[in-house]
Structure 1
Amino acid sequence: MNLDFTPEDEAFREEVRTFLKEKLPKRLSDKVRTGQHLTKADMEEWHAILNERGWLANHWPVEWGGTGWSVMQRFIFETETAIFHAPRIVPFGLSMLAPVLIKYGTEEQCRHYLPRILDGTDWWCQGYSEPGAGSDLASLKTQAVREGDHYIVNGQKTWTTLGQHADWIFCLVRTSSEGKRQEGISFLLIDMKSPGIEVRPIKLLDGDYEVNEVFFTDVKVPVTNLVGEENQGWTYAKYLLTYERTNIAGVGASMELLDRLKDVARTTMRGGKPLAEDPFYAARLAKLEIDLENMKTTNLRVLDAAGAGHAPVAESSMLKIRGTEIRQEINDLMRRAAGRYAQPFVAEALEEGFNGEPVGPEWANPVASQYFNNRKLSIFGGSNEVQREIITKAVLGL
């Protein structure tokens, strides 16, 4: 594929920049830039702005509300929104469930759920991981037993991101124990307001409640909420994960963070000279930039394949590995640049309305929080060790 921007691409870039200058609230971009926690209202506000412009579901087919953008246009949009510090759209409904419904769901499911994802009526979360079933997802134990027109669901999910806000959860459940573990899994859509569901928050190092445990006790789910065929959920789960892993890579965000890191390295002094002139630090910075350029090309290839209707397996795993490692390297280099200012950690400083004095330069406020929080990047969505196994099997046939 051609990686050069055409005149049309450049014109589109200017259109995106103009839109962001006019429509992205400064209050939101300031919160993203300084690493403050975003509220549900913040995320819903930006979701609504993009939906009003018709740019929210830029990877969906046009007939379901997509934009019809080219791969380059999608890449430009992701990059520019990161540069302008726009909030990242919550991906669960828009970028994870929706592609599964469009490919495997019924016409009725698409007509009901997709418009509600677009207009923000339904906030979705993901019910995949369980205690003892994270990267080894096929070992999940949450059970759904069919009784007439309903499934009765019992079990537990964990690390459910933003589940405290969710109206619905798309859930992997076990509907059969016969044959291989992967063959007895189904894909259910469950209303979080159903009797028998309990959500317990998990407090993270930065003081935020980003993830949760979700318990199901005799939860009744209509059979019409089954996506695709019973016991075929593993196929749909793998398809969804290719989108999740591509999203986790966060190429546009890493490009913006690298530019910020380079500015910090040029202005932060160590031993009477800029940190960027320290040979060891400069070498790590240079390698990081090379790795990111390579990942950018891989990202475009994966987007191109996905746009053609394919679900890249090995490629999305490669992107997930490199993307998370690059993000963690950026966090580490930023932490080293902050020096002693990365050591103190004041959770209140990440909340809106904090009136205390900053400990150091403004850019250093969220450094410790981001460093520790992003250690999870190489684990969720399938650990990087598992991704290497997937690549081995897909490429080498082992």
Structure 2
Amino acid sequence: MHPLHRLFRPLTRTVTCTRWLHLVVGGLFAMVCMFVYPGEGGGRSALLLGSLATVPPLVVLGLVPAVRVAEGVQARLMLVPGLRSRGPDRSEAAAIATAPAASWADRWRTVGWLVLRVQLGTVTLAASVWLPTAAVDLAVHRQWAYALLAPLPLVALAALVVGAGELVAAAARWLLAPSAAERIAALEERAERLLEHNRLARELHDSIGHALTTAVVQAGAARAAGSPEFTERALGAIEETGRHALEDLERVLKVLREGAQDPAGRPTLADARRLLDAADGSGAEVIAELTGPLESVPGPVSREGYRIVQEALTNVLRHAGPVPVTVRIAVTGDAVELDIRNPLPGPRPAAAPRRGSGLRGIRERAALLGGRAETGPYEGGWRVSARLPTA
């Protein structure tokens, strides 16, 4: 980069203009105090007295918690617009808080920020008026030697605007920075958001994966059977499974787009019968044993239990094919017990499920609810067993 271009580059940045405007607005408060100051005098002395007269009202104003919100928003918009940093949230503006002052330390830091902003703004405003005037006076002076010095006040003004802008931006990141409690709350919110995204990813994996696996298996079975009646049942099962998968997809996308809470309508163990019917329609011989009041199972436990059964049946169809499956769902006094077993046609399918993320998701779902889940070979077949506490 050419040295001259590097020298004048700060003057061409939009942020330099917005910072200058932010400072000038702060200096206007001192000008108002200058006009209402009861003493005599004018010019520089009156402006100095006016800037000092702003301190008492700024102290009172800074102690109001809501003022921190207004100052933080202004600082974000005008001092760091569009800038990026290397922080975890990639936004330098996040270093400036936009929440009400929650402690006296936050309030006094707001007071310090207001006083610094107005005093520095007063200097910038005065220089923005006096230095261009001085440049004009030098340019029209009768002696030509003075005209050669006319650019110097403008250069000084440019340096002052750039330097004061950098100073006020650094002060905002220090005096208006989030407190330790606010930073912890932001980290907790980010962690909750990541956990929610991981949960939605598992939802899509289980729902869409189950629908695609069921559709592929049923389509293959219908083509091999060559029976119009079987083909019609298979197409109906594919349609129903696809419809439920689309509903899950729309629900997850709505949560991601709008940032809303996960709406109601997620399937629960009370809807487990449709999973069993879909697996049975795919050619698997399903032997089901459902005991206990499935409708009374708490919502989170019931929804996660549904997904565990769904992933287990999906793995059966994907890795073992249309084989007999034994599904037991039992609701006891303090837990829900899930047990899904199927024979293995050969040694290869026994190891294949371990390469995916479905079995890990089953164990994670159970662990999040304080339960446990076991997956693996059992008595010559494959077994998925989970116990989810309800109390």
TM range (shorter): under 0.3
TM-score (norm 2): 0.27
Which structure has the bigger radius of gyration?
A: 2
TM-score scaled by length of structure 1? 0.27
Structure having the higher helix fraction is 2
